[in-house]
Amino acid sequence: MIKVGCNDHLGKKVCLKCRTADTSRDLKKPITAQPGTHWNKVILKKWFMIFKDRVSLGDYGIHDGMNLGAL
């Protein structure tokens, strides 16, 4: 299990526990559970790279303690 920080679109920081085998779609669902936005409308980014829904976090090189942005 890794811990990933995510700054959501409302300006709050959310810390999530996930696996490197999880896809970015699996990461979007708990992020949007709090504000009530549908997970299809969320875009995960790291600098200028936009994460696709079907690619795993390990393929993107996401490791423990990284921060992502959600728009």
Determine the Cα–Cα distance for residues 6 and 69; give it in Å rounded to an integer. Answer: 6
Q: Which residue segments constitute the domains of the chain, with CATH numbers given?
A: 2-70 (3.10.20.90)
Buried-exposed string 23-57: b where 16+ CB fall within 10 A, e elsewhere: bbbbbbeebbeeeebeeeebebeeeeeebeeeeeb
Please check whether residue 21 is in contact with residue 1, taking contact to mean a CB–CB distance below 8 angstroms.
Answer: no
- pLDDT tens digits, 53-68: 999 999 999 999 999 9
pTM: 0.80
Instruction: Extract the tokens encoding 56.
Output: 């795993």
Under the banding of pLDDT at 50, 70 and 90, the label for residue 51 is: very high
